[in-house]
Structure 1
Amino acid sequence: MIDLLLALATYQRVVEMLAVGITVLILVASLDDLLVDVWYWLRSLYRWFWIHARFPRLKAETLDAKPERPIAIMVPAWKESEVIQAMLTTSNTLIRYSNYHFFVGVYQNDAETIAEVESAMARFGNVSMSVVPRDGPTSKADCLNVVLAGILSYERRTGTPFLGIALHDSEDVIHPYELKLFNYLLDRMDLIQLPVFSFPRGLHELVAGTYMDEFAEWHSKDLVVREDVTGVVPCAGVSACFSHRAIDALRHQRAGEVFSTTSLTEDYDIAFRLAKMGMREIFVRLPISLVVEAVGPGGMPEITRRSMPVATREFFPEDFRAAYRQRARWLLGIAFQGWTQHGWEGNLGAKYFFLRDRKGLITAPAAILAYFAMFSLLVAHGLFQLLPATERPPYALLDSELYRTLLWVNLILLGNRLAQRTFFTTRIYGIWQGLMAGPRMVVSNLLNFFATLRAAAIFARHKATGKPIVWDKTTHSYPFQIAPDNSLVSSSSTHPGL
């Protein structure tokens, strides 16, 4: 009995030490987030009372008045037969721009996707296909480089150079005004990144809902602050556009390899390469008022006018395993490969955001350890209540005034974290989704934990064996389907609300 009590007391002390360490780590991470919050809101106040008061905001009418110049759209596709034709059809239906051309990259061993793209080419004159002369999957960058070669060949053949080259995935729903905005900005910008948001999901879809919360905050606040501090805008891989000048410079830099085939997040890598060349990058949040059609109660159509950002919208994974595998790929490219390829280069601001990119390697496991420590302390406390008060081991660390102060500070910072996430989710999706942002943070922590484990294991295996990391794609869904008569049919009960 004495040995058992001694073991429990020892276990309690170990968990106490773990709790203190995690509390300090969470405090540091929370102060980091608070700094970004404060910077964003001070910047917003400045722009509201000084910039917007003196200069008129960009209007849709201004974008419409700009003469259209040719823009290419790259779409890499591996095993995308279920969505690629719907994406091309939807885009040709929605986009309020006429001078553009799709260039879809496919693999020679993906006959189903090739057939769907060929069908789209027969229907639309603005779709071309480039076939990767290797069995897939290789890497997304490899596919994109083949697509870019196809664009260059098209320009030489037709004598029509493109003003800019946009980047999208096969699950993207492109905003009607996206190309008009690119057309307006490309005269003075070399990389333009627009927000990416998830389509609204049900309140019960906790995994898919985490993407609503995270992208609403990241692409409304974090990227804004990063651009302001560093001048670098990490490309999101979709809803982005490069000037022809930028593509040419990248092509000459590495003897034709525009996108780095050694990175799983070639879009993240390319933004830093452009910044080193002195290219101008911008993250744009521009609200445009559009008419949105939806199906109301009783199946009656509802037409409303909403002001929403020019942004790409898509469905993110709703399956837990698919979600953490996708996040693992992001971690591999941004944290592990980004660390290897870019180190800590740049000014203090750049180093700070590199640290934010990579801190998840520590904070993701720490969040799960925090749950474990809390549960362990509760169990230990319950067991010790069975003993006489005089025989219960004291909480030497947790009962200190300093630790209680740390807990209160962390509690206040957690309240701020919940308020920030709730605000940005509410602004895009409404109050009910905003109120779910807090509970979904627990799901996010679990996803990030498993993603970190998977990313670390893959990277360790890659370093040990030297084998390349291949394209670990996510299965995609699309809000529209192609009917037998080649018309578009909504795959949900409501219009996605562009």
Structure 2
Amino acid sequence: MTAADLLPIWHVALGEALLLVAMLVAINGLDDLAIDLLWLRMPAAARAGRLPPAPELGPAPAFAIFIPAWDESAVIGAMLRRLLAGLDWPDVRVFVGLYRNDPAGIAAVMSVADPRLHVVIGPAPGPTTKADCLNGLWQALLADEAARGRAFAAIVLHDAEDVVHAGELAVFARHLPGHAMVQLPVIPLPDERSPLISGHYIDEFAESHAKDLLVRQWLGAGLPSAGVGTAFCRHMLGRIAAQRGGLPFDADSLTEDYELGQRLHALGGRGVLVWEQVGGAPVATAEHFPADFEAAVRQKARWLVGIALAGWDRLGWQGGLAQRWMLLRDRKAPLMALVTLAAYVLLLLLVLDTALRMAWPAAAQMPKVASGPLLPLLWINWLLLCWRLLWRAWFTWRLHGITEALLASPRAAVGNFINAAAALRALRRYAAALRAGQPPAWDKTVHRFPGAA
């Protein structure tokens, strides 16, 4: 068989692959477009994440802040000092979960002297899972409640790298009555060392927390917790704990925060994402996100395993139409990350096909691949891509200004490669966990905190 004999096979294979990928990209693009159009239809207050006026505050509710920490000695001391210095609330207790085989982390926390701080060192060596560490904090909370004869009103989740807004407890106090969960926005901090890799989180969270999650909220679907800057009603957590043998967090889960939001919704509890401003700035949780490719892939792979893969098994497809649609959007992420990677490969193959046609007369006689009914589909995808990039840049501009908005488009390409690599890693890890018959371990990333050494 000569090279000329292979040309028809090449032409058909490339055309079929291009058609399949283009159809999947178009379906995904129309799915995202539907969210955009719903956001535009929402009332102005709902689009802005503003809830109806809350009733006047009664007695200040008691808050417990949970901070699970494994190998966080580089950031946990600075984080706690800043958090405790900014806490202006009459009744608050900060529970920090540590492991006995993390002496540096224990020393960093013990260096912070504050009567509101309660250190909990788990009996098992670390790392276990974040959910397991949180369960240890839950048991410490129960002991604290029994000792003082008063229950907390809510539990607030934070991580060791969070920059906590001083006004968050006041926001929680205003909106927790009648709600099972109150989520504050998460705003990634710009990193001058990594404007593309760390910076792509800026664009993703700006669009997700200022549009996608607000649409979920408006449709009445379950609102997933981001795991930080989230307050849970103590009573509702107690109901989940009662169903789970006394522990509200599932120790086998890598994304216990996401699952908790869904389980609260299944129990009839409503979660809300609230955007409020103090001094012209949003009350939100800020933090640094991974600055190198491998760390970003590791973090996102953990999210994909917990939400899209294990979450499918663990949560199923419960709920109404809106809820199932949002679950589908969560669980399509690994597939679409790989489809996007395939689209980049096909783009390179199209360039190769063009070069062959220019250099080889026999190839020039073959019909063009991007022709016929495929051509309008490619134009639709091009228009959807331009729309998507403009929307992402606009949401970034609203929160972070024009400089970051100009970087949003090149960062989208970087994010696509990170997401594809994370999808491959997630599939490998999940397959290995299934073969081993046990859940994946806590695959955490190295964190940074502003001003910490």
The TM-score range, normalised by the shorter chain, is: over 0.9
Match of 1:343 among 281, 300, 316: 316
- Aligned counterpart, 1:429: 400
- Aligned counterpart, 1:404: 375
Q: Deviation digits for residues 409-451 of structure 1, max 9, x if unmatched?
A: 1111111101110011111110111111011011110000010
CA contact (8 A) 1:66 1:183 kept: no
- Aligned counterpart, 1:115: 107
Counterparts of 1:8 and 1:391, CA distance in 2 = 7
Counterparts of 1:48 and 1:466, CA distance in 2 = 44
- Aligned counterpart, 2:98: 106
- Aligned counterpart, 1:361: 334
Corresponding residue pairs, total = 453
Shift in CA distance, 101/398, structure 1 to aligned 2, threshold 3 Å: same
Shift in CA distance, 56/321, structure 1 to aligned 2, threshold 3 Å: closer
- Aligned counterpart, 1:235: 225
Q: Specify every segment of 5 or more residues in structure 1 that has no aligned partner in the other structure, as ranges.
A: 290-306, 482-490, 492-498
1:396 deviates by 5.5
- Aligned counterpart, 1:192: 182
Counterparts of 2:59 and 2:189, CA distance in 1 = 31
Counterparts of 2:117 and 2:251, CA distance in 1 = 25
Shift in CA distance, 44/424, structure 1 to aligned 2, threshold 3 Å: farther
Counterparts of 2:194 and 2:297, CA distance in 1 = 18
CA contact (8 A) 2:89 2:169 kept: yes
1:150 deviates by 0.4
Counterparts of 1:96 and 1:177, CA distance in 2 = 8
- Aligned counterpart, 2:366: 394
Shift in CA distance, 48/174, structure 1 to aligned 2, threshold 3 Å: closer
Counterparts of 1:48 and 1:361, CA distance in 2 = 28
Counterparts of 1:428 and 1:369, CA distance in 2 = 32
Match of 1:320 among 293, 297, 311: 293
CA contact (8 A) 1:203 1:436 kept: no
AA aligned to 1:18 is A
Match of 2:203 among 213, 217, 221: 213
Is it true that 1:129 corresponds to 2:119 in the alignment?
Answer: yes
Q: Which stretch of structure 1 is more off in the superposition, 434-443 or 462-471?
A: 462-471
Q: Specify every segment of 5 or more residues in structure 2 that has no aligned partner in the other structure, as ranges.
A: none
Counterparts of 1:66 and 1:434, CA distance in 2 = 42
CA contact (8 A) 1:12 1:377 kept: no
Counterparts of 2:64 and 2:45, CA distance in 1 = 36
Is it true that 1:414 corresponds to 2:399 in the alignment?
Answer: no
CA contact (8 A) 2:159 2:228 kept: yes
AA aligned to 2:392 is R
Counterparts of 2:44 and 2:151, CA distance in 1 = 42
Counterparts of 1:99 and 1:111, CA distance in 2 = 30
Aligned residue for 1:205, secondary structure, equals coil
Q: Deviation digits for residues 241-295 of structure 1, max 9, x if unmatched?
A: 1111112111111111210112100111111211222222211111222xxxxxx
Counterparts of 2:263 and 2:45, CA distance in 1 = 31
Counterparts of 1:158 and 1:119, CA distance in 2 = 26
Q: Deviation digits for residues 34-54 of structure 1, max 9, x if unmatched?
A: 0000001110447589x99xx
CA contact (8 A) 2:15 2:370 kept: yes
- Aligned counterpart, 2:69: 77
- Aligned counterpart, 2:164: 174
Match of 1:333 among 281, 296, 306: 306
- Aligned counterpart, 1:13: 12
Identity of aligned residues (%): 37
Q: Which stretch of structure 1 is more off in the superposition, 179-188 or 320-329?
A: 179-188
AA aligned to 2:70 is W
Match of 2:410 among 429, 439, 445: 439
1:96 deviates by 3.7
AA aligned to 1:36 is I
Q: Deviation digits for residues 47-88 of structure 1, max 9, x if unmatched?
A: 589x99xx9867xxx98x664222110000000111111111
- Aligned counterpart, 2:264: 274
Q: Deviation digits for residues 350-376 of structure 1, max 9, x if unmatched?
A: 111111001112111111111111111
Q: Deviation digits for residues 215-264 of structure 1, max 9, x if unmatched?
A: 01101101101112234210111100111111211111111121011210
- RMSD over aligned CA atoms reads 2.1
Q: Which stretch of structure 1 is more off in the superposition, 432-441 or 200-209?
A: 200-209
- Aligned counterpart, 1:496: none
AA aligned to 1:129 is V
Q: Which residues in structure 2 correspond to 1:228-307 (within 5 Å)?
A: 228-289=218-279, 307=280
Is it true that 1:371 corresponds to 2:344 in the alignment?
Answer: yes
Aligned residue for 2:111, secondary structure, equals helix
- Aligned counterpart, 1:302: none
TM-score normalised according to structure 2 size: 0.95
Counterparts of 1:254 and 1:31, CA distance in 2 = 39
